[in-house]
Structure 1
């Protein structure tokens, strides 16, 4: 891990400076997790499934103080950075080093030491390398430089991790209501959302999920949120327009919130 100072002066631990620069632009500059009309108010509980190194929570804390933050991150090395980044910037949160799924069990995950944000249960080095190469090519990088940069970037380190359904975790933590559920779980998002029971959906005011644009996946997430009573929008990725990830936003209209920062 290396120490990185973000353009806004915040210092964080991260595995790769280029990855952090991209995430900073996505989260702080483009405010991707407030798109679609999402707002937060003091006292809200924000649940971050796939918290990574904590940039989203740092952003939410900057936007609205007095939030209850619950950050969930399965990868032990990334969880270590998450812990240090929030504590080092004075952000209090409940941190859970586990995964979210449709049942409680132990599963195998894969960690990319050089591409931590793409780690997860469903990694595919060839696919992930091709997606990154396409983005770099769109930025004008030569094929030779792309090949050199990505040569060892997607070497996987397997590990085993406990997973639990989201509603079980929230029940155990005594969370009555959720102001915002943010999900960025690298192709686990559909399983996570399908497992949320109706009684728990009724306690969630807003959802923002990064969903991979694969056959039927976005439509199914849209259906789940619509059936749960949300007004749903599907938004393109502003930071990486050629990305295979879309933002699916669900908001319960008529419920008042705060002011977007």
Structure 2
């Protein structure tokens, strides 16, 4: 698959899969700075885990803020990972290490994902949760466009637990754990062993609030010493239960 290149509104070049979605994520990350609110900070030398790295816009944003951070970026779906790799190479990001697997509550070398080539950031292990989003988009876009965006195919990808990665890479501290995994948020956190929680300093996550997921995540984080702020994602239609969660330590 040949990948395409575009110029973002800030004149940054990037490779992409779906143009509309890339512009939307640019707004979230660069314009709205949604990942750096409610006390989430970044310092020189910090270790960042970018879980659900997609094509790398978050990593590009962070690298522009501060070159002296170490980013570990996880993306399980190979066609998306290839674009992530192309963007890391395009911008000579020497401070980023890429992993072609995702994080969850188990180690599984052949997890099933639904990959949306025209809306790659929505690719998910939980396609049924996308039905609500599709309904909302049907109300604002024409049906052909929605059908185009939701053209999906089943692919296999590897997932691992966060603690297995901490152990394997001998990670002493994760200064920022960023999670955007389209429904697997709670599973990512369940993959943390009790003795590893103290290594994690800050968390920012996009949470799809299905089956009381936010309540479960908040309970888990509070029990591990985090202060939490939750806000509605301002760029999402108000009818979609998509929130940003910010967790910091006192």
TM over 0.5: yes
- The interval holding the TM-score normalised by the smaller chain is over 0.9
Structure 2 unpaired stretches of 5+: none
Q: Which residue of 2 aligns with 1:238?
A: 234
Deviations 1:207-237 (A, max 9, x none): 0011112231101111111111111111111
Q: Distance in 1 between matches of 2:147 and 2:157?
A: 27
Q: Segments of 4+ in structure 1 off by > 4 A? A: none
State the 1:152 CA deviation.
3.0
Out of 79, 82, 89, the position equivalent to 1:80 is: 82
Q: Which residue of 2 aligns with 1:147?
A: 143
Contact 1:128 1:154 in 2 (8 A): no
Q: Distance in 1 between matches of 2:66 and 2:150?
A: 36
TM-score (ref. length: structure 1):
0.89
* Within-5 A mapping of 1:28-107: 28-92=30-94, 93-105=96-108, 106-107=110-111
Deviations 1:127-160 (A, max 9, x none): 44224334xx2xxx5xxxx112112321221111
* Within-5 A mapping of 1:5-16: 5-16=7-18
Deviations 1:184-219 (A, max 9, x none): 000011111122122211011100011112231101
Higher deviation after alignment, 154-163 or 68-77: 154-163
Contact 2:77 2:156 in 1 (8 A): no
Structure 1 unpaired stretches of 5+: 254-261
Contact 2:63 2:69 in 1 (8 A): yes
Q: Which residue of 1 aligns with 2:25?
A: 23
Contact 1:104 1:165 in 2 (8 A): yes
Contact 1:2 1:16 in 2 (8 A): no
Q: Which residue of 1 aligns with 2:203?
A: 207
Q: Which residue of 1 aligns with 2:122?
A: 118
- What is the DSSP-based 3-state SS (H/G/I as helix, E as strand, rest coil) of the residue aligned with 1:187? coil
